[in-house]
Structure formats: C-alpha cells, structure tokens
Amino acid sequence: MNKKYRLQLWICAALGWITSMPQAQASADPALLPQFQQQFNQQLQQAKVPGGAYAIVYKDQVLALGSYGVRAVGDNARVNADTVFRLASVSKTFAGNIMVQLSQQGRLDLQQPLKAYVPELQLKTAAIEQKVSVETILSQGSGFWAHAFEDLIEADQTPAQILPRLAELAPVCPPGRCYSYQNVLFGLLGRAAEQSTGQPYETLVSERVFAPLQMHTASYGLTGLLASRNKALPHQRGGKGWRTVKPKANFYRFPAAAGVNASARDLSQYLIAMLGYRPEVFSPALLSQLQQPLVKMPVKPRWPVWQQYRNASAWYGRGWRMVQYGDDKLYYHAGVVDGYRPYIAYSPATGYGLVLLTNAEADVTGKLAGWFWQQVLPGPQLAKHKHGATKKGAR
C-alpha cells in the first residue's frame, strides 16, 4: 500500500471537483481535502475507472463531497455527489442497525436460533439449527464454510431455489468460534426482521434509517437503482478497457446482504450518525452494540498504517468490520459486486469518516482508504499523549 505522500496543494484536475464545507473545529486538517482530491483523481485516472464519488466527514460536518468522471462510458453525464451507486456488502451495516434496533425494542432476540424467525430454514441437524443464532449470522460467525452457495447467487438462482441447499452445510467450527463470511445466510436476516415485525425489510430500513437521516436518494433493489435518474452504471473489463454492463438482480435478491443503493451525500449523513451526532436516530446504546467486536478474523490488518501497532487485529461485529489498534477502533465495510466497488469507514477516536464509491471493480478504493487513514490516524506516540499512557502493543 502507499507510503505517506509529500504533497503540494494544486488546482483540482479537470475531471474532478470538490466542494468544501465549513469545518467542525480547527483540529480538522485543512490540507487534507485538496491532497485527498489529488489522490482520488490520480488513482481513478490511472486505473481508467469511468467514474466515482467520495465524501469526507468530520464529527457533525461534511467537510467535502467530490466526484470524478462519468456515470457510464460513452455518456457525457457526469458523476456528482448525488449520483447513486450500488453498495453491495456495505448493505450489511444497515442490516446490523436494523437487527440491533429490533433487539433493543424487544421485537427480536439476537441469541435465539435463526430458525425461530425463518421457520423454513432447514440445516443438517436439529442440533445445528439450535446453535446457529441470529447473532452468529450477523457477526459472520456461523461456523460453516465461507461464501456458502454464493456460486448459486452468481448463477442467478432465487432464494427459494437456494434455501433447500443449506441443509447440506456442515460446520467447520462451532458457531461463534471462527470467522466465516456469508451472503446467503446473512440475507436471511432480512426475512427474520420481516417475521418479527410484519413489515417488509426494505420498509424497515427506509423508515428507520433513510428517512430520518434524510438519505433522499437511497433505495433498495434493482428497481430502486433503475428508477434513479442520476445513477452510475456498472462497468467490467473488456478488450478495450471498461465497458458498461446491465445491472444484475442476483445479489439484490438478498437485500440484507447486498441490497442498498445510495449516493456519497446520503452516506455522509449515515457516517455522521454512526459517529454519534444523530442520537435521536442512532442512540448511544445502539452504537455501543454495533461497535462491539465479536468474531476475530484470522488475518492481520495489512495496511502500512497498522504496522506501527504491534497488536492491531481485525474483527467482525454486528454487521460492521473493525480494526482494533491500541485502545481505539476503526469501523468499516467494503463491497464488490457486478461492476461496483464501495467503501465506508469511520473513526470515533479522530472524528473522521470516509465514503468511496466507484462504478468499476478496480481496487482503487483500498489504496485511497489506506492513504486517507495513514494521514488521519495518530501514530502510537501521538496516541500516547492523547490517552496519557502508552498504548498496549505500541512501538
């Protein structure tokens, strides 16, 4: 990944633009915005990505909304802050919010077997069915082999066709004991939410998240994407570069896992709420539950920014990924699906949040996120002064 760059301020490239908002406090680094705009344009240009958008938030303010390129190759319509992209697996963070809200309201028990809310679910044995709880699915700790039957989603099979195949799953570890990323099983959380409330899952998210946060262009499903007048179309590599392809319905059929569409502006409001500045929508008790690490991932965080922390570790919580470094955590989720590559992250310790959206699968979001957090996160020595004591495991 990138080393820390020595950058000079420059005029934004012709293919991009930036809108600066009032800073929340003087501690927000004013040099960060033009530097990041330069990185954003440069990375997308080098990878020949057709278009992308980003947002940077600091505490309760949107510091910047930026964009680059076009919504579709061969079309002059430009991407802007309100252009809608598929969020792919970033949708899982919304599922985490909904499931924890329902739990706190007594509508659903996260410790109950998933089968209690999805009675049509048949696993290999009744004993396994009793051990696989809602929370083990929400925290990607089901214990089954990773990405189970995802190939059937790719083959355009429906949930009704795939569900009977789950009876073939054999655990590779006890539920809750090992990380095992899933889409089919995670998608059943939407069904559990519907069963416990009597409302469509998409309605629950719209009423509890989209509407109160004024995420005006956010939607669910292929129908929602196609209905948007300002949408980025997906692109895949062809013989002469990126080519536009039709959005597919396959992963959209599992809305809790991969159903959301949204713009950079929408997601800036989402991250402000996740940072704790919309307590009337996301209560402190809700955020506390969403920020709890539950299942440790087997790999170490790889970005250079994490190498300065000897004990940095990666976890999955209730719909969110997280990296624990010293006494603090960075919360994030990314996704890849059929020509889109989104990323969102926020850091309560620094007050910053980052949104990245592209309409091609080139891995520019990882490079950009790595660069951004390298600039923003304090090194162990700075963190030492912040907390008044040396961080555990810091160099």
138 neighbors 101 (Cβ within 8 angstroms): no
Going 180 to 186 to 188 to 193, the CA torsion angle's sign is positive
Per domain, the residue ranges of the chain are: 31-376
What pTM value is reported for the model? 0.89
DSSP string, 23-70: -SSTTS-TTHHHHHHHHHHHHHHHTT-SEEEEEEEETTEEEEEEEEEB
The tens digit of pLDDT for each residue in 125-147 reads 999 999 999 999 999 999 999 99
pLDDT in 10s for each residue of the chain, 395 residues: 333 333 332 333 333 333 333 333 346 788 899 999 999 999 999 999 999 999 999 999 999 999 999 999 999 999 999 999 999 999 999 999 999 999 999 999 999 999 999 999 999 999 999 999 999 999 999 999 999 999 999 999 999 999 999 999 999 999 999 999 999 999 999 999 999 999 999 999 999 999 999 999 999 999 999 999 999 999 998 878 899 999 999 999 999 999 999 999 999 999 999 999 999 999 999 999 999 999 999 988 988 888 888 889 999 999 999 999 988 999 999 999 999 999 999 999 999 999 999 999 998 999 999 999 999 998 764 444 343 333 333 22
What is the CATH topology of the domain spanning 31-376?
Beta-lactamase (3.40.710)
Name which of 335, 318, 291, 368 is nearest 66 in CA terms: 368
Q: Distance (Å, rounded) from C-alpha 278 to C-alpha 284?
A: 9
357 neighbors 334 (Cβ within 8 angstroms): no
**Helix-, strand-, coil-residue percentages of the chain, each rounded to 5:** 35, 20, 45
